[in-house]
Amino acid sequence: MKRFYIIFLGLFFFMNSPLIAQEDLFDILDQEVEEEPEIVAYTFKSTRIINGHSIERMPTRQLDFRINHRFGQLNEGGYALWGLDNALINFSFEYGINDWLMVGVRRGTNKKVYDGCVKLSLFRQTKGVQVFPVAISYYGDWSFKTIKGL
Same domain, 29 and 62: no
CA dist 98 and 120 (Å) reads: 10
What is the per-residue pLDDT for 107?
96
Same domain, 21 and 73: no
Same domain, 6 and 70: no
Is 150 a member of any domain?
no
65-108 pLDDT tens trace: 999 988 888 888 888 888 888 889 999 999 999 999 999 999 99
Is 68 a member of any domain?
yes
Same domain, 19 and 53: no
Is 52 a member of any domain?
yes
8-64 pLDDT tens trace: 666 555 555 555 555 565 666 566 556 788 888 888 888 888 888 998 999 999 999
Domain count, the chain: 2
CA dist 103 and 97 (Å) reads: 7
Same domain, 26 and 49: no
Same domain, 51 and 117: yes
pLDDT at 112 over 80: yes
Same domain, 112 and 84: yes
**Dihedral (C-alpha) 99, 62, 119, 49: value to the nearest 10 degrees?**
-110
Same domain, 111 and 141: yes
What is the per-residue pLDDT for 76?
81
Write out the residue range of the structural domain in which residue 19 sits: 1-33
Same domain, 1 and 74: no
Same domain, 17 and 56: no
Q: Which residues contact 138 (CB under 8 A, 6 or more apart)?
A: 118, 119, 120, 122
